[in-house]
Structure 1
Amino acid sequence: MWLLVVGLLAIALKYFEVGLFAGLAWWIVLLPFPAAMLWWAFADWSGYTARRAMERDDARRQDRVDRQRDALGLGTRRGSARRKP
């Protein structure tokens, strides 16, 4: 995502001819966009994207379970000792 932000910023700086970007060729200014496409292709190919999504889902699920346990007065398992009745 940050490559897209860099690319958009570079386009704006080139268009308004600010500083160093005024003298750069357009193909250099547009390089962050193919780099972002390559990163996304690699992330999908390597399973990085799916792993991150699964980790996020697992964290949400665990938070929901912890909230429900607290609401029932059972406490949470994560990091805390179980309460004795």
Structure 2
Amino acid sequence: MLFVLISAILIVLKLLDIVPVALWPWWWILSPLGIAILWWSWSDKSGRTERKAMEEHESKRKARRKKSLQALGMGGRHHKKD
């Protein structure tokens, strides 16, 4: 996402003819977009994207469980029953 933001800023600066960006060739201005595409492609192929989504899902699930236990007055502690 950072590379897309950088590229968007460079495109705006190029279109507004702000020096020194106005003097740079277009391939240089658009290169962060190419880097972003390569990153996303690698991230998908390596399974990183799916792993991150699973970690986020698990984190949310644990937070919901903790909140539910606190609402029941258990506070997430283990209670012994005699």
SS state of the match for residue 75, structure 2? coil
How far apart, in 2, do the equivalents of 1:20 and 1:76 lie? Answer: 58
Amino acid aligned to 1:55: E
Counterpart in the other structure of 2:76: 76
1:37, distance to aligned residue in structure 2 (A): 0.6
Higher relative contact order by CA 8 Å / sep ≥ 6: 1 or 2?
A: 2
Q: Which residue of 2 aligns with 1:3?
A: 3
Displacement after TM superposition at 1:83 (Å): 5.4
Give the structure 1 partner of residue 16 of structure 2: 16
Supply the AA of the counterpart residue of 1:72.
Answer: L
TM-score (norm 2): 0.90
Kindly report the root-mean-square deviation, in angstroms, between the aligned alpha carbons of the 2 structures.
1.5
- Identity across the alignment (%): 36
CA distance in 2, matches of 1:33, 1:9: 11
Q: Is 1:55 the counterpart of 2:55 in the alignment?
A: yes
Equivalence for 2:26: 26
Q: TM-score scaled by structure 1?
A: 0.87
SS of residue matched to 2:27: helix
Could you list the structure 1 runs, at least 4 aligned residues long, displaced by more than 3 angstroms after superposition: 82-85
Aligned residues: 81
Residues in 1 aligned to 2:38 and 2:76: alpha-carbon distance in whole angstroms = 42
Q: Which runs of 5+ in 2 are unaligned?
A: none
Shift of 1:58: 0.3
